[in-house]
Structure formats: C-alpha cells, structure tokens
Amino acid sequence: MHKSLVLVLAAACGAASAQTPANNPMPDGSRDMYVGLGIVSTPEWDGARSRKERALPVLQVQWSNGFFVSGMSAGMHLSDRPSVEYGPLVTVLAKRDASGNGNGLGGMSGEGVKLQPSFETGDPAARLDGIKEIGARLEVGGFFNHYLNERLRVNNTIGYGAGHDRRGLRYTIDLQHLAADLAPRHKVSASAGLTFVNSAHNRAYFGISDEEALLSRRATHVPGGGLRDVHAGVRWNYALSPSWILASQLQVTHLRGDAAKSPLVERSTNYTVSTALAYRF
C-alpha cells in the first residue's frame, strides 16, 4: 500500500494535536519538502477567551531513510510494514509567559516554538500576570500509528518533558481519516481524539500555587492527572498547481477534568484556525 504524504497545516500552540506525516516510500537519497507562509488564529493561552493572530512560517521535510521534520517536531519512521508506523518523536514546545502562549514555526504537521512573528494582534489586557512563566521545552517520546484501512489511521503519540520541572507527560490518541478527494485538486481529511496528561503537566499549565494565587488574585488550584481534552479537526488542501498547495485547518478543543476547572480557563471550548500557502520542492 502506497501512503502519500498527508498535508496538514499545524497551529503553533499547545492545544493542537501533533500528527506525524505518513510514511512516504521514496527512492534512496531523495526527499520531499514543503516550505510556506501562513496565518494562524489561536487563543492567547489554553482556555483563554481572548485570541491573537500571527504570521506562521511552515516547513515539512521527509527523507527516503524515514527521517522527517514537521514544524518544530522531528522523528523517524522505523517500520517496514505498510499497515504500521512507529518511531521516535521529539517536539519543541513554545514557552508561555504573561502574554500567553509563545509564537511558533508551523509545519504541514507538528507544533510550534518561539519565533518572532511578522505581526501579532490580541487583547493586551488579557494576561497571565502573577502566573509563573513556562520556558520552551523539549518533549521527547514516540509515535505508533495503525492503519485500519487505506484511509483510516489510529495515531498514538506520547511525549515527556513539558512543564516547570520537565516532568510533564502527555499521551494523545486520534482517529484520522486521511486526505480524500472532495473534488478535482481538493482533498479533505478529518480527525478526532483525546489527550491525557499526568499531574505534573496539568499543574504546570492549569495549576495555580498559593504564591501565584496571591500575585494573580486567582484561586489556588492543584489539578491531578487524567483526561485533559477532547478535540476534533478538519483539514483542507487545495492544489493550485503541481508545486503550490493551499493548506488550511480548523481544530476545536474542549477541555475536560481538572484542566477545565482551572481559574485560568475562561472558555473550556475553543478553536484554532490556520491557513498557509506552501511550495513543494
């Protein structure tokens, strides 16, 4: 079974679920690369009511040896079975400071890291003053994907290293319908899934210590681990030519459990929308 590269524009924010590009059999020594520029609209931070828009460079490269770079994620396909994909995966997570989540470099799949944007809009009054900053983190883990058929794939990703003490653990499972022809030059894919985290992850991104409560005038909150969110997304790719592609994504995330109960959460259901023009080399 030949599995072509799945084109999805990733939003550079922590709420977005990372999905690895499909294994793309290529001649030895070759590579497949997409470079582009787009715009993304996200909440200021996970659970924020206010939003910000920013420019988003995008990058995805895959080599014939299985190694790939997608946004600020990198990994390697190790399986030689057509129905199974697995391998290591590392992701750089953007920092979060008083102004919210950091900006990022997106991919046709992946998550973001701090990068100076061309422009940014948002509500300057919507801030996390008094809440301890979380620096950029390297999340190390892996992925395991299983094809139920040619179009239906179960994605599993796990990563460790997020949060203040770098002990945050995150596991995401998604059911993804790979890109199908909607019309000539148009492909649409969809996915839905769950994200589970440990208590260290939840405490970093949704917890409020006694000191932070005093400084931020918010109530103390000490969340445990468990289900963090349920999410669903739709991706649309429009082939303008054999080399140029317009890739867009809408993802909706609904926070659950102790994360949703955090005083930092102003809106438990939120969305990220992005679009980019990419050139294939």
Spell out the domain ranges in the chain: 31-280
Whole-number pLDDT of residue 110: 32
pLDDT in tens, 4-43: 444 444 433 333 455 678 887 778 888 999 999 999 999 9
**How far apart (Å, rounded) are the C-alpha atoms in residues 247 and 158?**
26
**How far apart (Å, rounded) are the C-alpha atoms in residues 139 and 133?**
17
**Tokens for 106?**
């997106």
Average pLDDT over residues 173-180: 89
**Which residues, 6+ apart, have CB-to-CB distance to 269 below 8 Å?**
252, 253, 254, 255
Average pLDDT over residues 205-234: 97
CATH architecture classification, 31-280? Beta Barrel (2.40)
For residues 267 and 48, is the Cβ–Cβ distance under 8 A?
A: yes
Is residue 71's pLDDT more than 90?
no
What's the half-sphere exposure (Cβ side, CA atoms, 13 Å) at 86? 8
For residues 34 and 60, is the Cβ–Cβ distance under 8 A?
A: yes
The string of DSSP codes covering 167-186 is -EEEEEEEEEEEEEEEETTE
User: What does the chain come to in residues?
Assistant: 281
pLDDT in tens, 117-168: 333 444 444 589 999 999 999 999 999 999 999 899 999 999 999 999 999 9
Tell me the pTM. 0.86
Whole-number pLDDT of residue 100: 83
